[in-house]
Amino acid sequence: MILEQPSVLVVDDDEKSVATLKRTLRKDFKVYTALSAEEAEEILRFEYIQVLVCDHRMPKETGVSFLIRVKEQWPDVIRVLLSGYSSLEDTIRGVNEAGIYQYIEKPWQPEQLIHTLKNAVELFELQRENRLLSVELKVAPSALEKEVKQKKEQLKKTYGCDEIVRTENGLLDKVIQRVCQISSFDFPVLITGESGTGKELFARAIHYNSPRADGPFLAENCGALPDQLLESELFGYKKGAFTGAYMDHVGLFEQASGGTLFLDEVGEISQSFQVKLLRVLQEGEIRPLGHSKPRKVDVRIVAATNRNLEEEVKAGRFREDLFYRLVGYVVQLPSLHERKEDIPLLANAFLKHLCEQYARPFGGFTDEMMQCLMDYRWPGNIRELQNEIGRSFMMTPQGEPLRAEFCSPRVLRAAPEDMEMELEWVSGVNGSLKEKVAQIEEQIIREALIRLRWNKTKVAEELGLSRVGLRQKMERFGITENHGGEAVSEKVG
């Protein structure tokens, strides 16, 4: 890329001097010339001039007088004066009134002149950048305020109750209706439910549908930190309060002031730390480590746990007074197994998000794949479902629907090591021992057929059956291969 040379305007009534200056400067600068102040003004009106070099002695007016006018009309142009003889009075006037950058005495030295003009160009650019920054600083507050407002509105929309994926009139729909109702009241909320049911999502929904929505939302996993680290994270500390405290740290209670603090896994905190947390909730103030004076905070607490805190209170592992400080209202989230009607909606939502993220066409799911998702119990709940969709998405050719053969073995049937789940499944099977065994046998055959892509020879070998024996069992159980969503009777020869 060719960079344009910096521009210099030379003003002198002596044509020979102008020619000499142009020859000297043209290698490093784009040189404009003028033999009078009038010519120079005309050039200044129509050209981008960075530095003006003017002779002091001219017929109609002095260089200083001309540069005073230039300063008024083109203040950004850097002004340099050439002079062989000038009085002290002219020098003072030139500095004070014309804002002259530098005097250069005649006869000038080429190297010195070029060096001076390069410095003048650099000064011009610095002035321009400074002016742009000044403008930017004036604009920045309103621009940033607008950007922050837009992002907050987007967050409110993203975490609005209507955006939570669920079936209309389903089990979760009733929970969301209650969440929308309680969000506007500034009471603490305890969210309970199994791991992976979306407790933080609901905490955000409570915050962004509340009067505190414009304030901060901060989260802390209380079960992941030891007491001292949890205390410093929540309450903050003063520089030098302990080894490694090299600077002041503002705790999450202060950072979240005016907004919501989400305390996840609150049932995991020790009894000694429960006392400290209780004091903060009672008094509405914290005392950072190393500080002698407490500080007031204004925070709404939303806590979450997968434990039964009432049972923990009865067992003496959780303080009863703290429990009642946290429980303004309890939101009980159902497991994914309890809201199976939402599985197709959630699966499609996860898949669409992945397709958008990786710019791939949406292929959907085969009926067989969706049936596998519906039949599985999902002990890891929504988080496990999301991971399963991601795994199958990686294995599926672009543009094709997700197929059951790419499911994890545990989704096709309960994993062998998960004996408790298998026993629970067996106990749920109705009928005599013979009927129960038949249903388990059917499940095993279905899983093997899907996993081995309906290759009956391989399935028969794996299960220790002949092809004829496998065919008979498939006919007895009514197992047929699914082609593109259409059930077709299987004939095994």
Q: Who's near 67: CB < 8 A, 6+ residues apart?
A: 52, 54, 79, 81, 94, 98, 99, 100
Q: Which pLDDT tens digit goes with each residue over 147-170?
A: 777 888 888 888 888 889 998 888
Does residue 94 surpass a pLDDT of 90? Answer: no
Q: Phi then psi for 43, rounded to 5 degrees?
A: -65, -40
Report the C-alpha gap between 84 and 91 in whole angstroms. Answer: 12
Q: For all residues of the chain together, what is the average pLDDT? A: 85
Which of 83-92, 103-112, 291-300 has the weakest average pLDDT?
Answer: 83-92
Does residue 2 surpass a pLDDT of 50? Answer: no
Does residue 206 surpass a pLDDT of 90? Answer: yes
Q: Who's near 403: CB < 8 A, 6+ residues apart?
A: 366, 368, 369, 392, 396
Report the C-alpha gap between 41 and 173 in whole angstroms. Answer: 76
Dump the DSSP string for 291-328: -SS-EE---EEEEEESS-HHHHHHTTSS-HHHHHHH-S
Q: What pLDDT does residue 85 have?
A: 61
Q: What pLDDT does residue 135 have?
A: 57
Q: What pLDDT does residue 430 have?
A: 65
Q: What pLDDT does residue 60 have?
A: 80
Q: Which pLDDT tens digit goes with each residue over 385-437?
A: 999 999 999 999 998 999 888 888 888 764 333 444 454 555 555 677 777 78
- Identity at 474, one-letter amino acid code: M
Q: Which pLDDT tens digit goes with each residue over 46-55?
A: 888 999 999 8
Q: What pLDDT does residue 93 have?
A: 63
Q: Which pLDDT tens digit goes with each residue over 349-378?
A: 999 999 999 999 999 999 888 988 998 889
For residue 329, what are the CA distances in angstroms to 108, 144, 305? 86, 37, 14
On whether the CB atoms of residues 462 and 433 are closer than 8 A, the answer is no
Report the C-alpha gap between 325 and 310 in whole angstroms. Answer: 13
Q: What pLDDT does residue 492 have?
A: 37
Q: What pLDDT does residue 201 have?
A: 94
Reduced DSSP (H G I as helix, E B as strand, rest coil) percent helix, strand, coil of the chain, to 5: 55, 15, 35
471 versus 140: which is more confidently predicted? 471
Under DSSP, the state recorded for 365 is B
Of 262, 287, 273, 276, nearest in space to 226 by CA: 273
Which of 13-17, 250-254, 389-393, 420-424 has the weakest average pLDDT?
Answer: 420-424
Under DSSP, the state recorded for 219 is E
Does residue 133 surpass a pLDDT of 80? Answer: no
Cα 58 from chain centroid (whole Å) = 65
Report the C-alpha gap between 387 and 392 in whole angstroms. Answer: 9
Rounded to two decimals, what is the model's pTM? 0.60
Q: Phi then psi for 284, rounded to 5 degrees?
A: 70, 30
Q: Which pLDDT tens digit goes with each residue over 309-324?
A: 999 999 999 999 999 9
On whether the CB atoms of residues 20 and 55 are closer than 8 A, the answer is no
Residue 216 CB coordination number (10 Å): 15
Q: Find out whether the peptide bond into 107 is cis, omega within 30 degrees of 0.
A: yes
State the sign of the Cα–Cα–Cα–Cα dihedral 80, 86, 91, 94: negative
Q: Phi then psi for 314, rounded to 5 degrees?
A: -60, -35
Residue 456 tokens read as 């009956």
Report the C-alpha gap between 254 and 251 in whole angstroms. Answer: 6
Which of 74-83, 122-131, 304-313, 400-409 has the weakest average pLDDT?
Answer: 122-131
Report the C-alpha gap between 32 and 35 in whole angstroms. Answer: 11
Q: What pLDDT does residue 88 have?
A: 53
Q: Are strands 249-250 and 236-237 parallel, antiparallel or unpaired?
A: antiparallel
Does residue 250 surpass a pLDDT of 60? Answer: yes
On whether the CB atoms of residues 325 and 286 are closer than 8 A, the answer is no
| Mean pLDDT value across residues 77-97 | 70
CA angle 293, 232, 303 (to 5 degrees): 100
> pLDDT-based confidence at 486, cuts 50/70/90?
very low
